[in-house]
């Protein structure tokens, strides 16, 4: 088991080895299913990928960003249209979109002076839809 410090980190920064405490099998008081433990240990997730996955879930942990993702799951929209849909200022929407773009949750497409936003790819759409289905609201 890997324990991560609680300090806030910049996105996609892997933990340094000295920042990670690894629990070994010798530290485990009792293993009920050694085969299952071995199977899991044969497929480790590296620190960089762990941080990236956590960042995606952090992005979706904010209700405003969830509302933006929901809107973009229905249509490609510009900042002004998103602001109108959510009854927010364009500045506030732009701030959230910048974060979502940095995490590759949304992508931008320029058309003249306007920038249109959409969910980055089908994986993001599926992740959001699965979340709704999990909660029984799809």
**pLDDT one digit per residue (tens) for the chain, 138 residues:** 444 444 444 455 555 556 666 666 566 568 889 999 999 999 999 999 999 999 999 999 999 999 999 999 999 999 999 999 999 999 999 999 999 999 999 999 999 999 999 999 999 999 999 999 999 975
Q: Where are the domains of the chain?
A: 2-56, 63-135
Q: Is 36 left (phi over 0), alpha (psi -120 to 50) or beta?
A: alpha
The whole model's pTM is what?
0.74
Looking at residue 18, its pLDDT comes to 60
- The architecture (CATH level 2) of 63-135 comes to Orthogonal Bundle (1.10)
d(Cα 40, Cα 51) in Å, to the nearest integer?
A: 19
Residue with tokens 């249209």: 81
């Amino acid at each position: 088991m890997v324990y991560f410090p609680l300090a806030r980190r910049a996105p996609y920064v892997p933990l340094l080895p000295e920042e990670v405490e690894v629990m070994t099998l010798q530290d485990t008081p009792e293993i009920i299913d050694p085969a299952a433990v071995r199977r899991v240990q044969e497929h480790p997730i590296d620190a960089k990928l762990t941080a990236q996955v956590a960042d995606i879930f952090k992005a979706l942990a904010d209700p405003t960003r969830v509302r933006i993702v929901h809107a973009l799951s229905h249509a490609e929209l510009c900042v002004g249209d998103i602001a109108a849909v959510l009854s927010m200022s364009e500045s506030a929407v732009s701030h959230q979109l910048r974060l979502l773009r940095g995490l590759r949750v949304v992508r931008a497409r320029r058309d003249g002076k306007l920038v249109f936003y959409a969910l980055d790819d089908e994986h993001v759409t599926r992740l959001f839809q699965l979340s709704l289905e999990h909660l029984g609201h799809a």
